Amino acid sequence: MTQTFSIQESQKLQLEPLKIPQRLLLGPGPSNAHPDVLQAMNTPPVGHLDPAFLALMDEIQALLRYVWQTENQLTIAVSGTGTAAMEAAVANVTEPGDVVLVGVAGYFGNRLVDMAGRYGADVRTITKPWGQVFKLEELRNALSTHRPAILALVHAETSTGARQPLEGVGELCREFGCLLLVDTVTSLGGVPIFLDEWGVDIAYSCSQKGLACPPGASPFTISSRALEKVTRRKNKVENWYLDMTLLGKYWGSERVYHHTAPINMYYALRESLRLISEEGLANCWQRHQKNVEYLWNSLEDIGLSLHVEREYRLPTLTTVCIPSGVDGKAIARQLLIEHGVEIGGGLGELAGKVWRVGLMGFNSRKENVDTLIEVLRKVLPN
């Protein structure tokens, strides 16, 4: 018997084909993707177990090891945004009762605290005013006091624009017998990183900032030292989707099906990493530094001041102090609607106090600085 259904035509939406305005994305992310990356996304998908796709996964792993400067075997892209990679980092190495010490000097340090607590950790914190960084001796004192299983630090705090120095931190962690977990979401691709040299055990990032790729395929890496802790767990990793004991079998030689990968996103990530390799990692870092210094000088030339000490500023993201009496949110909206330029507002303790200006990946170019300064001159009160 054939069933009949009554379709409510009145519920049908009459929509035009998709039209999205062009924006210059100079906020905290996403940044504009490189044209070659967008072109790669248009490549027809193959199956997630197709030999051609598996070969591409191997290329992604090799390229990620290069940009992170690591030999970690388990270096992959998580199918999800940077927050998924952050959760993967916390979920895999955190067991109930573990003392996890988190350095909190901004919004994303607080997010690590929340995540670790949800996985049953005994979370301790060391804090700094937003925009400042931890000194090595402060970290030593905190490790001595708390004796954690894991120390978690944010290398590039997206909410403040501050770069946490990591030289010597890994040695401290080994001295005190703990793992070092590092957030490189806003640093990978634009800020010098030497994971192995610094003794970092777990790191994660995203695709839409320094890698100049749309969001959705997020780098993750874990050392053999940290993997030992994962394999010694008394209970399974509580997040099935992000369990590295399972994902490692898909990305490794076994090629065991785990999930349907976002194939076109991996195309894009592979191409974005290829472009960094083609430019040369050192050249990429130098480009970011040169262009951000031009940005800093240009902002100061029009009377604006910056929130973070110069020594600790990120080359990928700058926090600009909103002048007294200026409605920062209104200015940002005017830049977006009237001039097609996006900048970000402050988060948490810096809400209403700063703008966040990103100069990352493909967007780290002198002409983008000139465009921003030109439109700021137009919208800022004299």
Give the whole-angstrom CA distance, residue 30 versus residue 322: 22
Summarised one tens digit per residue, pLDDT across range 320-379 is 999 999 999 999 999 999 999 999 999 999 999 999 999 999 999 999 999 999 999 999
> Model's pTM, two decimal places?
0.95
- Provide the pLDDT for residue 11: 77
Give the whole-angstrom CA distance, residue 161 versus residue 111: 16
Domain made up of 35-277: CATH architecture: 3-Layer(aba) Sandwich (3.40)
Average pLDDT, the chain: 96
Domain made up of 24-30+280-379: CATH architecture: Alpha-Beta Complex (3.90)
Hey, what are 260's tokens?
A: 């349907």
Among 228, 214, 159, 163, CA closest to 191: 163
- Every domain range in the chain assigned CATH 3.90.1150.10: 24-30+280-379
Give the whole-angstrom CA distance, residue 266 versus residue 47: 12
Give the whole-angstrom CA distance, residue 82 versus residue 208: 9
Cα dist from 365 to 96, 208, 211, 289, 338, whole Å: 46, 16, 14, 11, 22
Give the whole-angstrom CA distance, residue 276 versus residue 35: 14
pLDDT tops 70 at residue 191: yes
- Every domain range in the chain assigned CATH 3.40.640.10: 35-277
Give the whole-angstrom CA distance, residue 209 versus residue 29: 6
- Provide the pLDDT for residue 9: 74
Summarised one tens digit per residue, pLDDT across range 272-309 is 999 999 999 999 999 999 999 999 999 999 999 999 99
Which helix (H) or strand (E) element contains residue 355? strand 354-358
Summarised one tens digit per residue, pLDDT across range 249-270 is 999 999 999 999 999 999 999 9
Give the whole-angstrom CA distance, residue 125 versus residue 110: 9
